[in-house]
Amino acid sequence: MEEIKIMKITYHGHSCFFIEGSRYSVIFDPFLKGNPLAKIKPEDVKVDAILVSHGHFDHVGDAVEMSKNNDATIVAPFELASYFQSKGAKSHPMNIGGAYHFLFGTVKLTIAHHGSTTEAGTAGNPCGFILIMEDKVLYHAGDTGLFSDMRLIGELNTIDVALLPIGDNFTMGITDALKAVEFLKPKIAIPMHYNTFDMIKQDPGQFVEGLRSSPTRGVLLMVGESISV
């Protein structure tokens, strides 16, 4: 009998998602300390790899602590990976358009239109991620505005789940995120990067409602909730 492969996705607020497969687990943008929405602590996380989209504090979060606690590799754009190495963490440098086959799955970096700095200064280009794990394709857009090459990302990848920012002000708002879904054509779209701070207050239900007539299923995850695909 053929093994049924399942990817479990758990939301921890802002842009932080914990992804579990049958053997490995990864976490995206692990902003837990200082995140008023998060319900878990960095020390609660057992993980094999940490994927960080850019250098802003609300995405770097607790990556270094988690890396050291778990002997886990941080996957990030080259300059940001070098920053993590300077902090004593294990890292794997990548850059836009490149892919790498890890034990837990395949990661490819996509463009994202945003900034990227740490307290040490600029941290290279921001990115989004394509993660292929358990034969599922997940797109984490990182922090970004809408861009037309999302059509190309959707053409090159049969996306099972897209994680898209809707908070506006710093990233796409709901209207642009709905257009991104049209471009990407994922089976499922989940909103992120909203309601953590006053400047990104949004009603995520409007995003899900906007997909009611779309082939894409909109899914709203509360903090701590999971979906399996």
In angstroms, the CA 229 to CA 215 distance is 16
Smallest Cα–Cα separation from 187: which of 150, 136, 221, 143?
136
Q: Which helix (H) or strand (E) holds 150?
A: helix 150-156
Domain containing residue 165:
8-222
**What is the average pLDDT score of the chain?**
97
pLDDT at 55: 98
For a pLDDT cut of 90, what percent of the chain falls above it?
Answer: 96
Answer yes or no: is pLDDT of 82 > 70: yes
**Segment 111-121 mean pLDDT:** 94
CA angle 87, 92, 97 (to 5 degrees): 130
Task: Specify whether the CB–CB gap between 134 and 161 falls below 8 A.
Answer: no
pLDDT at 2: 61
pLDDT at 41: 96
**Segment 2-12 mean pLDDT:** 88
Q: Is residue 166 part of a domain?
A: yes
Contacts of 134 (CB under 8 A, 6+ apart): 5, 6, 7, 21, 22, 105
pLDDT band at residue 1 under the 50/70/90 scheme = low
Task: Classify strands 121-122 and 117-118 as parallel, antiparallel or unpaired.
Answer: antiparallel
Contacts of 152 (CB under 8 A, 6+ apart): none
- CATH label of the domain that carries residue 94: 3.60.15.10
For a pLDDT cut of 70, what percent of the chain falls above it?
Answer: 99
- Spell out where the chain has E strands: 8-11, 17-20, 25-28, 49-51, 73-77, 91-94, 99-101, 106-111, 117-118, 121-122, 127-133, 136-140, 161-165, 188-192, 217-218, 226-228
**Segment 160-164 mean pLDDT:** 98
**Segment 177-181 mean pLDDT:** 98
Burial 165-177 (b: 16+ CB within 10 A, else e): bbbbebbbbbebb
pLDDT at 19: 98
**Segment 75-86 mean pLDDT:** 97
In angstroms, the CA 181 to CA 224 distance is 24
pLDDT at 5: 87
pLDDT at 130: 98
**Segment 181-204 mean pLDDT:** 98
164 forms beta bridges with: 191
Chain mean position to CA 123? 18
Domain count along the chain: 1
pLDDT at 122: 86
Q: Is residue 228 part of a domain?
A: no
pLDDT at 4: 74
Q: Is residue 168 part of a domain?
A: yes
In angstroms, the CA 35 to CA 33 distance is 5
Q: Name the DSSP letter for residue 166.
A: -
Q: Is residue 229 part of a domain?
A: no
Q: pLDDT tens digits for 27-68? A: 999 999 999 999 999 999 999 999 999 999 999 999 999 999
Higher pLDDT, 179 or 121: 179
Higher pLDDT, 117 or 2: 117
